[in-house]
Amino acid sequence: MAQLALHRDVLFQSRTLPKKVHKKLVELVRKFEEDHTQASINLEKLEMAQDSRVRSARLGDDYRAILIAPEEGSTYIVVYVDHHDEAYQWCKNKLFLENKRLGYFHVLNTDIINLSKEQDESIENCSQYPLSALSDEDLFYAGIPKVLIPSVRAVKCDDDFERLADFLPEEAKQILYGIACGLTLDVAMEETLGIQLSTISHETISGSESTYYSNLIFIEGEEHLREILQGDIAEWRLFLHPSQKRLVEWNIQGPMKVNGAAGTGKTVVLMHRAQWLARQIKPNEKILITTFTKNLAVTIKGLLGQMIPEHMDNIDVINLHLLAKNICHKTSFNLRTSDDKTVTSMLRQFLSDMPVTTEFSHNFILDEFYEVIEKMSIETEGKYLEVLRKGRPRIKRTQRLSLWPIFVEMKAFLNKEGIASFEELLRMALNEVENSQHPKYKHVLVDELQDFSLTALGLVASLSKLDGSSSNPLCLVGDGHQRIYSNTQVSLRHAGINVIGRSRRLKINYRMSEQIRNFAHATIAGLSIDDLDEGVTNTNGDRSIFKGASPRVLKVTSFQQAATEIANWIVDIKSSSKGNIKDHEICITSRSRYFIDSLNREGVDIYELQADKQDPGETAPGIRYGTKKRVKGLEFKAVAVILNGNSTERKALLEDYVAISRARDFLLAITVEND
């Protein structure tokens, strides 16, 4: 029985095809499953094509599907659909190349093969360009098809590379981009695809290879294709980059860490890994997915419910605070928990009533209490004197000695009031897990790792089977660029979680255009970003897979003027997109919700994103509005951001980064000078 696979470009193309063609494609799947040689398919070899494997199949009287016949096996690949004449004309100058080792199926326009002959001879002296140092064998190992090696050989500068890049297989282009940015071939392949050069041999290329392709969908029957064509299955569920796929199915002993900038698909990897693990566990085993914020937990639970509804009884998706609360409520827990604002207000009043005078402001004392004492789980004066206070202002030993009695009094006050802070709740939950027969999870997956405190890390470690009795016990995902709830850098090593040799960084951005990605990183230029385990993040070689419009950057003198500019910008982008951007795909964000009144006065129809609830999508009309913390974890085609003024405060800059990185195609960034 023959099978059909769909090239990614056909999925995008299908959005403009008539519904009758969708029906014919579904019929084609059924007919292939029955007998792909039946006359009604009219499967014909096209002699005018340069590639001998090209076939056409009838889709009614006037449309044709262009397919690639297998050299071995029984899978035909649909690569193009169009009117009869246009379809035949399209395939005339195409070659269809596959690289099973790197996981790509590439459609090559043969006109580019002659590009090397058209290069300007005036640049021949640029022999120091990084790609010039690669041998033909290196280029082949990097995924460059042999027919394109001469074209790559002719690249002598960045402009040459940019002209050639769109014709290269996506995975090979990403590797060469890393090398052009200064990475070695070995590092570029490992960071881009998770492949080490030392593991590649001639035998690998011609022998048994992976059959996963990042840009192909293998159709599993008529209903599967119907859902795809109707848009019922999100693109991120259909396509994974090879680097993501390897992390999803990485079978290891011990904990693993995945980090990467916003838009690199970390949460996508986590959800697909949860799906992969769920399909292997026994009925009595459980998986835990936990996040720092409620919003992300709600989002992940909803999406997993669509992906693997049959496994959701075996998966607990819960945010960190509720996880700890549930554990404590199974014990003799007799403290009440309050939100951070309430606890801070009580502590501020307590400090005002204290007779002790100090050289430090109440704001500093509160920050030190939350960021160091609580986050680093400091229980004694000695520990406080020794602790590394990363991200905090430097203070002397004598100053720490003067502060410690105040912290002791603050803790005693909360205990007397019967209130458990968030960190105290985590400590109690950790103590319960460590000192009881609390069941462990088969697999634990953590998102928003950058916001987890030392105690929080200890809790997820205690809930995991880190004793070696189970493979894939703990997967930790995060990004130091998005640490907007705390400045404290907590290392995994201090929590007893060893990820040496089991850490990977995602470098390819799928959400943001290259222009928006560059703007986002420019907002935090000069900030040192940690890798979540005492190292520094290296963004060299990071890039987006597509380009778009340059961000629009404005300075205004009032919030009402900002609202006017946003209203005009919305009209502009909706007009230029010709209906391809809907209201629910546009988001406006600022530091707090006070800006809504200004937008309402401009006639902007707003739908405010609710805390702890999923965005209902197109079923709820209105331009989305949310604070910068609320929109974290979401993405939109267009985003308007009210920047945090001229602030140089670290968390304010990172908040701007998070907000900007929600945008895919269009970005409006506004500074209100009188903010």
DSSP secondary structure of 195-254? --GGG--HHHHHSS-----TTEEE--SHHHHHHHHTT-S-HHHH---HHHHHHHT---SS
Closest C-alpha among 336, 395, 353 to residue 371:
395
Q: Which residues are annotated as a binding site?
A: 260-267
Are 90 and 111 in contact by the 8 Å Cβ rule? The answer is no
DSSP one-letter string for 29-44: HHHHHHHTT-GGG--E
Read out DSSP for 53-78?
A: TEEEEEETTTEEEEEE--SSSSEEEE
Helix (H, G, I), strand (E, B) or coil at 648: coil
What are the tokens at 556? 């205004």
CA distances from 133 to 186, 389, 480 (A): 13, 44, 34
Spatial CB neighbours of 74, under 8 Å, sequence gap ≥ 6: 1, 2, 3, 36
Give the Cα separation of 553 and 550 in Å (integer).
Answer: 9
First-residue to last-residue Cα distance in the chain:
66
Q: Strand 606-608 and strand 623-627: pairing?
A: parallel
SS3 content of the chain, % helix, strand, coil (to 5): 45, 15, 40
> How many angstroms separate the CA atoms of 49 and 229, rounded?
27
Closest to 375 in 3D by CA, of 426, 319, 339, 327: 426
In sign, the C-alpha dihedral spanning 504, 505, 507, 512 is positive
CB 642 within 8 A of CB 590: yes
Q: Binding site residues for ATP, as ranges?
A: 260-267
Using CA atoms, how far apart are residues 150 and 666, in angstroms rounded to an integer? 37
| Helix/strand/coil (H/E/C) assignment for every residue in 132-176 | HHCCHHHHHHCCCCHHHHHHHHCCCCHHHHHHHHCCCCHHHHHHH
CA 273 to each of CA 204, 306, 329, 522: distance values in angstroms, whole numbers, following the listed order:
26, 15, 30, 32
* Amino acid type, 86: E
CA distance 123 to 261: 35
Distances (CA, A) of 34 to 17, 28, 53, 76, 248: 25, 10, 22, 14, 33
Structure tokens at 615: 């965005």
Beta strands in 516-613 (DSSP E): 543-544, 552-556, 586-590, 606-608
The count of other CB atoms within 10 Å of the CB of residue 444 is 26
Tell me if 454 sits within 8 A of 490, measured CB to CB: yes
Task: Report the length, in residues, of the chain.
Answer: 675
How far apart (Å, rounded) are the C-alpha atoms in residues 168 and 148? 8
